[in-house]
């Protein structure tokens, strides 16, 4: 258990350090803009490029794995959407609730934690989940928001918006460049390589600290009645669905399966608040979901890591048929 705590606590410790600093020092939120820019457009893309460019190319086309993990996230999204419709009867609010129940913190927490827990074998599955889960959310949210707006849905405009979001996202661009580098065996000049290593090493600490500060700046005002169900879907049902679906589809190996389960078990992403704020719906509740989900994930993710480290979680569920 000591090894598990040594692995998990630095990640959560950085989040809570940021939260403590955010509560302690009354700096305005505008001060985070350059830090967020550095994380989203510089350090995390550099990390994704480094990870993917070092991976075997043949592993990056594991379409059954992509199908299984993306389908699992879609199922979690649909479950959370059902909870949202039952509680609010509003498609736009239910859409944000769906993201809270299905959009894991795969950017800020995912790569650092999976690599620390499972080693280099987690590089490719982490990258694949990151790209295709993001693509799924970037696609579903605009269409559902347009559907729930009450006006005539402009399909062409929405499709163009989705394509721009997917194709211009810095993480997806970095992944594509990493794939190109891996396929051509590109080796960066020494000065650029050193700079990429610096940026890669800065990504996780900066992202986790900033996540904590961001949550601290959003006061806990309301706890919606549907929150336990949404957090339960995110922290418990989502990883369970991933494990069952991958078991059903085939044998992907211990590292790939556990990477997928661990990525799904992460708390709601900061993008849940970004999406809520973008559409001006469910904003305070989205902030609450991130805060509560992150706090509870200290126990759930640490428990999952303990099960994995002691090989108490089977690689596959044995279906009776």
Find out whether 287 and 153 touch, Cβ atoms under 8 Å.
no
In the chain, where are the structural domains located?
2-7+31-309
Q: How confident is residue 97, by pLDDT bands cut at 50, 70 and 90?
A: very high
Give the model's confidence band at 150: pLDDT under 50 very low, under 70 low, under 90 confident, else very high: low
pLDDT of residue 264: 97
- For residue 31, the tally of other CB atoms under 10 A from its CB is 11
Helix 170-184 crosses helix 155-168 at what angle (to 10 degrees)? 50
Per-residue tokens: 135: 């693509």
Residue 276, token pair as written in the block: 């809520």
Average pLDDT, the chain: 87
Whether the predicted pLDDT of 70 surpasses 90: yes
pLDDT at 1 (0 to 100): 62
% of the chain beyond a pLDDT of 70: 96
> 162 pLDDT exceeds 80?
no
Looking at residue 274, its pLDDT comes to: 83
Phi, psi of 302 (to 5 degrees): -60, -40
pLDDT one-digit tens code per residue, 182-204: 888 888 889 999 999 899 888 88
Question: At residue 68, does pLDDT exceed 80?
Answer: yes
Mean pLDDT of 143-161: 75
Give burial (CB, 10 Å; 0-12/13-18/19+) of 313.
middle
pTM of the model: 0.87
Quote helix, strand, coil % in the chain, to nearest 5. Answer: 80, 0, 20
Residue 237 pLDDT level (bands cut at 50, 70, 90)? very high
Instruction: Tell me how far apart the 2 most distant CA atoms of the chain are, in Å.
Output: 59
Domain at 2-7+31-309, CATH from 1.10.1060.10, 1.10.565.10, 1.10.645.10, 1.20.1530.20: 1.20.1530.20
């Amino acid at each position: 258990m000591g090894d598990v705590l040594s692995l998990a606590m630095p990640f959560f410790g950085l989040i809570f350090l940021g939260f403590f600093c955010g509560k302690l020092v009354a700096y305005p939120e505008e001060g985070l803009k350059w830090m967020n820019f550095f994380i989203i457009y510089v350090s995390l893309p550099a990390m994704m490029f480094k990870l993917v460019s070092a991976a075997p190319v043949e592993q990056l086309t594991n379409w059954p794995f992509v199908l299984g993990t993306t389908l699992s996230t879609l199922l979690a999204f649909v479950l959370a959407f059902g909870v949202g419709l039952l509680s609010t009867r509003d498609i736009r609010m239910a859409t944000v609730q769906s993201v809270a129940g299905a959009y894991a913190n795969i950017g800020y927490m995912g790569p650092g934690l999976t690599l620390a827990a499972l080693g280099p074998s987690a590089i490719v599955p982490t990258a694949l989940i990151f790209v295709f889960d993001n693509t799924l959310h970037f696609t579903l949210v605009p269409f559902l928001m347009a559907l729930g707006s009450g006006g005539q849905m402009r399909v062409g405009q929405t499709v163009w918006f989705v394509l721009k979001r997917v194709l211009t996202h810095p993480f997806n661009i970095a992944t594509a460049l990493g794939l190109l580098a891996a396929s051509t065996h590109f080796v960066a000049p020494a000065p650029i390589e050193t700079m990429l290593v610096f940026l890669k090493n800065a990504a996780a600490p900066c992202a986790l600290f900033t996540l904590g500060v961001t949550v601290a700046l959003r006061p806990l005002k309301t706890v919606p009645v549907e929150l336990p169900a949404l957090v339960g879907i995110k922290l418990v049902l989502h990883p369970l669905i991933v494990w069952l679906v991958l078991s059903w589809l085939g044998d992907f190996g211990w590292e790939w399966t556990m990477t997928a389960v661990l990525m799904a078990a992460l708390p709601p992403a900061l993008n849940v608040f970004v999406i809520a704020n973008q559409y001006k719906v469910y904003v305070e509740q989205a902030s609450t979901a991130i805060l509560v989900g992150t706090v509870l994930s200290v126990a759930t993710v640490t428990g999952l890591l303990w099960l994995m480290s002691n090989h108490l979680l089977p690689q596959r569920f044995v279906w009776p048929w």
